[in-house]
Amino acid sequence: MRKQLNSIILGPICLVASLLLTSCAGRKIGDPIPKGNIAIPTTRSIHFNSQSTLQKNIIAFWAKGKVADWKDGEKIDLKNPRTVLGCLLAGERIPEINAYLMKQNATGKNGSRWLLNPKGGYDFNAMAFTPVLYLFGNQPTVLYPATRQHLLDHILTIEGAGFTKKVPNLWFEDSENHILMAESARYLKNQWLFENGFPLPKYDNKNNGVEKGLTAFLKEIIDYGVYEFNADPYLGYTYASLLNLNEFTKGPIKEYVTQILDMINWQYALSSYQFKHFPPYRRRFKDAFSEELYCDYHSVMLMMWASFYNDSLKIDITRGKHQALWPSMLSYRPSDKVMEWTLNKPNAYFVKMGHGYNSCPEIVSGDKSYLLTAGGANQGRPSLIMPKPIVLFLNDSARELSQTFHMYGPGKDFMKWNNTGVYEDFACTKGSVRIPDNKKPILTANDWQLFSITDSIFLATYSEKELGLMVIVRAASAKNALDNILKNNADKKLLHTLFKHPNGNLIAYDLGASKYRWVITKINNTAVDRSFGKWPLFEGNIDAVKK
């Protein structure tokens, strides 16, 4: 009996506590993020093809999918709207898909699903079915008129006034992706009806509060950054919502959405290498992080856009085919520099990317043949930050973390790591260096190991139980590279706090730094700004750093 009472009393309390930690992810927190000294590129002059082999493969994949009837109160399999879209885009199974849609009715409500909103989460489907209306609503031989009406009346049910950021039946904000999915679906259904014969006040976005609320929320994201940055899996749904708005709206909303897409794509271009991407992220806590290097939904978007840019690229989307439909069917394309830096780093660079209050930054140092990427730091469970190892990406076929040089923090609890210790061609942490099984040093001395990256570029590693160093060195030979390291760093005891790089930088660091502070403390005896919660959006040098 006592156990039953505890379950009745504590169950809802625990659920609300869980929601408090996993929602509230669209809030305006702290101060606006400064823009920094690196502008977000917006110039678009390069040619993109209208079709690509990858695009055709993704559409064909979904055109062969199965659809299942919806059951009231149950979550709809996210494959259903993707299969509908795939079939309509391919012009296949048209009678079957129209008949299928005519039998379906909305099974829930928008917002996070919880005790007092047991049918929540329908915004995932309202957002996904919105392109069906806009892409095919005026093609009666594809989406039959009766089907279009049923879609409006019984499937796209988020409509009218009532823009909200709140979790249904709670006082705090819902997560960023839920807000964008629900309110983009509301805005776009209203717009369709208002412009297609139903000019009723409740559908007038300019006067019913929806445009005002959505515009303010988008402006908040621009000023304070994407709260659910790199979120796995939520960024994919944020992306799809933004791409819907970018495609089907005009005016300030389209302008703000384009700014947000350009911002997050620039972050990706700088923090990825040949579509390998392993950044820290905010939202879903897991007992362990995935060790796949190509698995995030951000990579899926850039892969598809890259295929329009160069159809000869060998690109394989193994995870995220449901998200790949959006860049395959909608017209947004990244800026010139985003494509350039995603596909071919033009020169050596070092960039710090701030994500705002109670967050962690992304820090990268790279060149054409490598990329060092920091793993961040969790700052308590309410921060919702998922830290990662420091990773070195190379021009190779690595697909798993174990196939890369990388550094964990101390111990097995990655929530206690501070893996922000990355600077120009240098990385340090209070943990050891993990070396791939197939990588063998070409020189060793005084516990240093030297590996070849490419002609005249080498990786030097130093590893103890609570000291890991990875150093990129440019030199005429491997011997010259190692000799320079040993000459500059003769006292091994100093390596726990100080490293003199062959490129001339004297780098000081605190391996025991709190999780709120950058591990790097001084560069060339000058103190650095370590409070990364106040760092600019993009700060550093993309025009070739010290070599």
Looking at the fold, whether 368 and 432 belong to one and the same domain comes out as yes
Domain boundary among 290, 315, 341: 341
Of 542, 528, 476, 475, whose CA–CA distance to 503 is shortest? 475
Give the separation between CA 134 and CA 147, rounded to whole angstroms.
13
Q: Per the domain annotation, does 11 fall within a domain? A: no
Q: Per the domain annotation, does 20 fall within a domain? A: no
Domain boundary among 311, 341, 371: 341
Q: How many CB atoms are closer than 10 A to CB 32?
A: 13
The tally of CA atoms less than 13 A away on the side-chain side of residue 452 is 9
Give the separation between CA 502 and CA 479, rounded to whole angstroms.
13
Looking at the fold, whether 64 and 154 belong to one and the same domain comes out as yes
Structure tokens at 375: 């793993």
Give the separation between CA 202 and CA 160, rounded to whole angstroms.
5
Give the separation between CA 130 and CA 504, rounded to whole angstroms.
56
Tens digits of pLDDT across the chain (547 residues): 333 333 333 334 434 444 444 444 445 578 899 999 999 999 999 999 999 999 999 999 999 999 999 998 778 899 999 999 999 999 999 999 999 999 999 998 888 877 877 777 889 999 999 999 999 999 999 999 999 999 999 999 999 999 999 888 787 888 999 999 999 999 999 999 999 999 999 999 999 999 999 999 999 999 999 999 999 889 999 999 999 999 999 999 999 999 999 999 999 999 999 999 999 999 877 767 788 888 789 999 999 999 999 999 989 898 899 999 999 999 999 999 999 999 999 999 999 999 999 999 999 999 999 999 999 999 888 888 999 999 999 999 999 999 999 999 888 888 889 999 999 999 999 999 999 999 999 999 999 999 999 999 999 999 999 999 999 999 999 999 999 999 999 999 999 999 999 999 999 999 999 999 999 999 999 999 999 999 999 999 998 777 6
Q: Is 355 exposed, middle or buried (0-12, 13-18, 19+ CB in 10 A)?
A: buried
Domain that holds residue 232: 50-341
Domain boundary among 341, 362, 397: 341
Q: Per the domain annotation, does 301 fall within a domain? A: yes
What is the model's pTM? Answer: 0.94
**Structural domain count of the chain:** 2
Give the separation between CA 323 and CA 386, rounded to whole angstroms.
22
